[in-house]
A and B are shown apart, each in its own frame.
Chain A
Amino acid sequence: MGLLDANISNRNVLVTSVDNVMNWARLSSLWPMGFGLACCAIEMMATNASNYDLERFGIFPRSSPRQSDLMIVAGTVTMKMAEKVVTLYEQMPEPRYVLSMGSCSNCGGPYWNHGYHVLKGVDRVIPVDVYVPGCPPRPEALIGGLMKIQELVRMEGLGISRQDALKKLAEKSVDAQQVIDQVRRATA
């Protein structure tokens, strides 16, 4: 339930920690760098567009790395592009997050063997926080990945490093099959 639904009266005083407020603000306005590298980018654009409407999460692409806090690596990273990706990543202000979208940027995808020109996973050049599998992932999957980033942001705080947060996030992992079964039962 959101704050607005909570019918706050009593002179609108809320008590919480600075960490919480900061994280709430950060995770509600993730601004990804607007760049796409291959077919996955089409799916990312579809996710940004009105059908899936990423702006309801406060996510909308920026045209400059200086204004971005999230990099969605959407597509095939070629050897030529790899160094540019690193430059863009370094131009982003911290704290910054990286979401690797699709098999290509996860591990080379269909080009893993004979694609001499393809970087076999963008994590060879920049640290990746969340991997979204698929070729290409559906918009729902990308949104799932973005929500993982939001969870990660929520885990962070003063004195809690990214590493710790990622570990905590991993502990909270859910078995996808259970969720699927649950939904099937509910809709049956």
Chain B
Amino acid sequence: MDNGMEEAGNIMPAAVLESKAAYDIIRGRFGDAVSEFDANPTMPFFEVADASKWVDIALFMRDDARLKFNYMACLSGVDYMEQEQLGIVCNLESIGHYPHRIAVKVKCRREGGSIPSVACVWHTANWHEREAYDMYGMTFEGHPDLRRILCPEDWTGFPLRKDYQVQETYHGIKVPY
């Protein structure tokens, strides 16, 4: 189905066009700090190429009168093992203002990498970033309370990494089957 759509020319569904218009505003403000627009019909997205600008971009997206992305629907973590990177995907929407929605990806190094926290921009990000940290192990710079949220605090390793091996024992209790 995807191919069919591309062959028919670059006709984007109306919803994607909305996202594209929002993206153009962000691109106009931040230039090369954001990547090209990806017109994914399920969830259009762009990537933050310069992660240090992520908080500025987030504030701009939330506060600009033409964007008003006032709602973070989700923040997920991703392990790009082959590229030696970890990342997050933020799904943003504008409730009560505009019909547009967009996903933003931010990446960092796999070992010891860190991403600026946007918990101060969207409160939803607070727990979601803690969960991403809990499961993948990237840190969030400037997060008010970056602790594990689901696993026990003294758990070893980050369970959703693709090369995760479960620990042998936890407090003397055997963990593997």
| Interface residues in chain A, defined as those with a beta carbon under 8 Å from any beta carbon in chain B | 79-80, 82-83, 107-108, 112-113, 116-117, 119-120, 124-125
Q: A80-B152, A117-B151, A117-B159 are in contact. Are A124 and B173 (CB under 8 A)?
A: yes
| Residue among A107, A113, A116, A120 with most chain B CB within 10 A | A116
Name the contact of A82 in the complex, choosing from B155, B173, B177 (C-beta under 8 A).
B173
| Residue among A79, A83, A124 with most chain B CB within 10 A | A79
Q: In the complex, what's the smallest C-beta–C-beta distance from A64 to chain B, in angstroms?
A: 25
Residues of A within 8 A of B144 (CB): none
Q: Is the CB of B164 within 8 A of A119?
A: no
Q: Is the CB of B151 within 8 A of A124?
A: no
Q: Is the CB of B152 within 8 A of A116?
A: no
Residues of A within 8 A of B175 (CB): 79, 116, 120
Nearest A residue to B171 via CB reads: A83
Total A-B residue contacts, Cβ distance less than 8 Å: 28
Q: Is the CB of B164 within 8 A of A116?
A: yes
Residues of A within 8 A of B170 (CB): 79
Q: A79-B152, A80-B152 are in contact. Are A119 and B173 (CB under 8 A)?
A: yes
Q: Is the CB of A120 within 8 A of B152?
A: no
Top 9 closest pairs, chain A to chain B, by CB: A116-B166, A120-B177, A116-B159, A112-B177, A80-B152, A79-B170, A82-B173, A124-B173, A108-B177
Number of B interface residues, CB 8 Å?
A: 14
The distance in angstroms between the C-alpha atoms of A56 and B105, with both chains bound, is 59
Q: In the complex, what's the smallest C-beta–C-beta distance from A20 to chain B, in angstroms?
A: 40
The distance in angstroms between the C-alpha atoms of A79 and B155, with both chains bound, is 10
Residues of A within 8 A of B164 (CB): 116
B4 at the interface (CB under 8 A from A): no
Name the contact of B174 in the complex, choosing from A112, A116, A117, A124 (C-beta under 8 A).
A124
Q: In the complex, what's the smallest C-beta–C-beta distance from A100 to chain B, in angstroms?
A: 16
B28 at the interface (CB under 8 A from A): no
The distance in angstroms between the C-alpha atoms of A108 and B150, with both chains bound, is 18
Nearest A residue to B157 via CB reads: A116
The distance in angstroms between the C-alpha atoms of A82 and B173, with both chains bound, is 9
B176 at the interface (CB under 8 A from A): yes
A sample of 22 cross-chain residue pairs with beta-carbon separation below 8 angstroms, ordered by A number, consists of: A79-B152, A79-B170, A79-B173, A80-B152, A82-B173, A108-B177, A112-B177, A113-B177, A116-B159, A116-B164, A116-B166, A116-B175, A117-B150, A117-B151, A119-B173, A120-B174, A120-B175, A120-B176, A120-B177, A124-B173, A124-B174, A125-B173
Further contacts, 16 of them, CB under 8 A, given A80-B151, A108-B177, A116-B159: A79-B152, A79-B170, A79-B173, A82-B173, A107-B177, A112-B177, A113-B177, A116-B164, A116-B175, A117-B150, A119-B173, A120-B174, A120-B175, A120-B176, A120-B177, A124-B173
Residues of A within 8 A of B176 (CB): 120
Kindly supply a per-residue 1/0 record for chain B positions 116-155, scoring 1 wherever the CB is within 8 Å of any chain A CB and 0 otherwise: 0000000000000000000000000000000000111001
Residues of B within 8 A of A107 (CB): 177
Residues of A within 8 A of B151 (CB): 80, 117
Q: In the complex, what's the smallest C-beta–C-beta distance from A182 to chain B, in angstroms?
A: 37
Q: In the complex, what's the smallest C-beta–C-beta distance from A131 to chain B, in angstroms?
A: 16
